[in-house]
Amino acid sequence: MKEIYAIIQPNRVQATKAALAEVGSYPLNAFPCMGHGRGQIDPQLLDAALDGCEEALAVLGQHPPLVPKRSLSIFLADDQVEPAVQAIIKANQTGLHGDGKIYVCPLAETHRVRTGETGEDAL
């Protein structure tokens, strides 16, 4: 079992849900979040700021700007991961900075509270 944790643009949630529905039905949670990637900031400037360089911190204003995003958490069986990842990419890839990130993490256990089912049966 796996969890896909994806960070996408807020205006791409519905398209992502539709793309995922085309390849299967997955439990999905979506949350508003704020963040930034390396794409909006010169990576050398960010590295210098993280190392405590005063000039870099002054340029960044001590805190890089945070932008609205949506985080998606999707739980699925191992064999469903690749189609789901490809669906997320298809729905979100524009070629511009900020398209998003996808993380695939192992899922140790799942329990359905209502029925007591465990493992993939609880997905």
Whichever domain contains 103, its CATH number is 3.30.70.120
Written as one letter, the residue type at 77 is: A
pLDDT tens per residue across all 123 residues of the chain: 999 999 999 999 999 999 999 999 888 999 999 887 765 667 777 788 778 888 877 777 756 677 899 999 999 999 999 999 999 999 999 998 889 999 999 999 999 999 999 999 998
Residue 81 lies in a domain: yes
Q: What is the DSSP string of 35-94?
A: E--GGGS-HHHHHHHHTT-HHHHHHHTTSPPPEEEEEEEEEE-GGGHHHHHHHHHHHH--
Give the helix, strand, coil percentages of the chain, each rounded to 5. 40, 25, 30
Q: Residue 73: which domain range?
A: 2-38+65-122
Residue 103: inside a domain, yes or no?
A: yes
